[in-house]
Structure 1
């Protein structure tokens, strides 16, 4: 094989197109493995959870809120991490004494050796697999012994992100994972910790969850940047409802979800909005000039002139006709116009499946989508829909109108090979939040919902990149202020290997 520097421009372009297909196929395969692993892992974790929570136990009122963290937190937003007012009685299993070497105790003012004048003691909880350990950390304090020197007390600087609070990143990572991956309410998790001899109240855990969201916000912002600067120049979007109790006169708020395609590093962004208006989407897209894949929601119409194009989800359009068949008997369905339309939709979806199976490059996919044979499939679907005379007010009329009103944007994908025919990637990304929402039902405050969006984004992006959520959360909490943000991104090659899932 030639060296890259020996390749012509045309050969390099062809090589990149082939690499695109390799990446897409690997992502799809990897996605299936992660889904399989996640299903099994969720079952095992729930089995563990059921050992300390009875299956028939009813939800307490605050159990139903995704962010009872915000509702029960005792600190004010923006308060320094670790500055909590609570008492706890923890018996350490070992003690770590942190003291300075004599060479480090030289007074910077007069050169005398500082003498010990006391110490600070903090008890920290470390979470190991299936167990916890309480460690006492004693940090020695020093002052200059020269009576004529006014040098201040000197001690080792702490790099503990949670300060003098008892928790460590290992514990907070576990709390976040249990809450946002499994929907375990903080009230129940607090009871579990108490059963282990660790008296951490729900209010304390709430503070730590909110602190973690604040600490990890720079990573969240960077993931949003990666989303809007993706290589394929395509973003998928969807949204789902979320009830916020503290927002009056508004029954529903929304959590918007944005994802990259299978041709890029997986990025999943969850962003809270107090309404279904796409104002925050507009802010997110201020520097984005690519394509958007979405459903027919009119809120996305404002981007028609701002982006290269909008691809409306064809699976959505097909679903309306399929829903018509659900209410019919087998005999009625066989004779229904809706069945013929669904079959013609399926022929287009089958073509996309064939393109992937044959590993066509992006340029070839675009070419195949614009052949005369492909156009005949499109024309046949068009004629079938336009020939339907549906009864006013019927499901069939609704299906026909939906398809007609979004017709041109259903086929934007034919002009750009990186576009998918459907929005299934984003719709599937909404499901983890919807499943979790069944456990928490509502959110207490807007601030808490925003924090939940931050944590959900990091968790789902980590999962999509094949990382162990709990281990990754612990790692980034330990390192977000110590190393470059590029080195802790979920796809960074500098991440420790032990953070990776063992997918088989």
Structure 2
């Protein structure tokens, strides 16, 4: 599977899953291998991980293309330390700041793209001319600026991020902030009712129009009244919360007109949790290339979870299948399509009792 390598696919995938799904650093895996009486260098393990992920890159590229063809796309960013500062930087030797920019498509696929910048340029580079539809994000201004410059993109924003500003204002304005939070909670009660009723499409849209639209209109009017009549200073936490939502009234209302748009980015926030969780274990990536590799493997593991696939079973199969699969059909190896075509009879590692050679010898 890896040229000039004696490593079985079970070892390769075991390294990947332990490191990137269960956040077990390679040095700990190396210690465990040594305790089992096996002599192998840590540099060998690192090279095996790198070479395995390189084989998976075309699959993630195909998944990225699928996501960019979504009608509704959620996007976010989360920081990571990657690579070292170089001369003439006065902070030579310290880790540089980088960012993962996860993108979540409407077919429940996610990719983690990496950039050493948090600027609008990365959004432009990723979305290019391929994406046309609704871009769902938090309140970071770079998304709004990008969407405003595009004729084919509608910008929707997250109610949960808006809610956080009122939570911060509760200490100084417990009654008003709590009232705002209660109004927002009613929106989510309606969303929960939609799920319980199993509504979608036009029925979901009509439910939001009948039950949620009046709540949203009242909320924005209430915010406007508080801002005009309370004599709040611009620096006041409640004033900041009110201004935040009023400036975003249009983007916070998009979900009312499109039943496929969620009112928040919670689905994306849940998917990117492995990054901050892993950050507590491996702290940083030694190189920016290492960060890109992390993004590749995490894209596949996270998407496997979204489709109820076992990442180990999936990776064991595709690392063997990719060398024999037509390059023109690499999209069939993305977790979503792999589940339809290959999940019922996946390729197994040689040490697996279910491998055909093992069964024939029994």
SS of 1:167's equivalent in the other structure is coil
Q: Distance in 2 between matches of 1:354 and 1:297?
A: 30
Residue of structure 1 in register with 2:68 after alignment: 228
SS of 1:363's equivalent in the other structure is helix
CA offset digits 1:280-299 (Å, max 9, x no partner): 33222121111111001011
CA offset digits 1:44-85 (Å, max 9, x no partner): xxxxxxxxxxxxxxxxxxxxxxxxxxxxxxxxxxxxxxxxxx
Q: Distance in 2 between matches of 1:215 and 1:279?
A: 28
- Correspondences of 1:408-419 after superposition (within 5 Å): 408-419=250-261
- Correspondences of 1:8-407 after superposition (within 5 Å): 161-230=1-70, 233-248=71-86, 251-261=96-106, 264=107, 266-286=108-128, 287-300=130-143, 301-306=145-150, 307-325=152-170, 327=171, 333=174, 336-371=175-210, 374-388=212-226, 389=230, 390-407=232-249
Any conservation in 1 of the 2:52–2:319 contact (CA below 8 Å)?
A: yes
CA offset digits 1:366-420 (Å, max 9, x no partner): 233334x544312220122122233442322221221122121101112211111
Any conservation in 2 of the 1:213–1:451 contact (CA below 8 Å)?
A: yes
Per-residue deviation at 1:173? Answer: 0.5
Residue of structure 2 in register with 1:495 after alignment: 342
- The yes-or-no answer on 1:425 pairing with 2:267 is yes
Q: Considering only aligned residues, what root-mean-square deviation do their CA atoms show, in Å?
A: 2.0
Give the aligned length: 328
Give 5+ residue unaligned stretches, structure 1.
1-160
CA offset digits 1:280-319 (Å, max 9, x no partner): 3322212111111100101112123424311100111012
Q: Distance in 2 between matches of 1:308 and 1:353?
A: 28
SS of 1:443's equivalent in the other structure is coil
Quick one: structure 1 residues 499 and 320, their matched pair in 2 at CA, closer, same or farther if it must change by over 3 Å? farther
SS of 1:252's equivalent in the other structure is strand
> Going by fraction, where is helix more abundant, 1 or 2?
2
Give 5+ residue unaligned stretches, structure 2.
90-94, 348-362
SS of 2:80's equivalent in the other structure is strand
Q: Distance in 2 between matches of 1:247 and 1:268?
A: 30
TM (norm. structure 1) is 0.62
SS of 2:222's equivalent in the other structure is helix
Q: Distance in 2 between matches of 1:474 and 1:205?
A: 17
Per-residue deviation at 1:168? Answer: 2.0
Higher Cα radius of gyration:
1
Quick one: structure 1 residues 278 and 482, their matched pair in 2 at CA, closer, same or farther if it must change by over 3 Å? farther
Q: Distance in 1 between matches of 2:202 and 2:85?
A: 49
CA offset digits 1:421-455 (Å, max 9, x no partner): 11111111121211111111122111111111111
Any conservation in 1 of the 2:67–2:105 contact (CA below 8 Å)?
A: yes
SS of 1:258's equivalent in the other structure is strand
SS of 1:342's equivalent in the other structure is helix
TM (norm. structure 2) is 0.85
Per-residue deviation at 1:247? Answer: 4.1
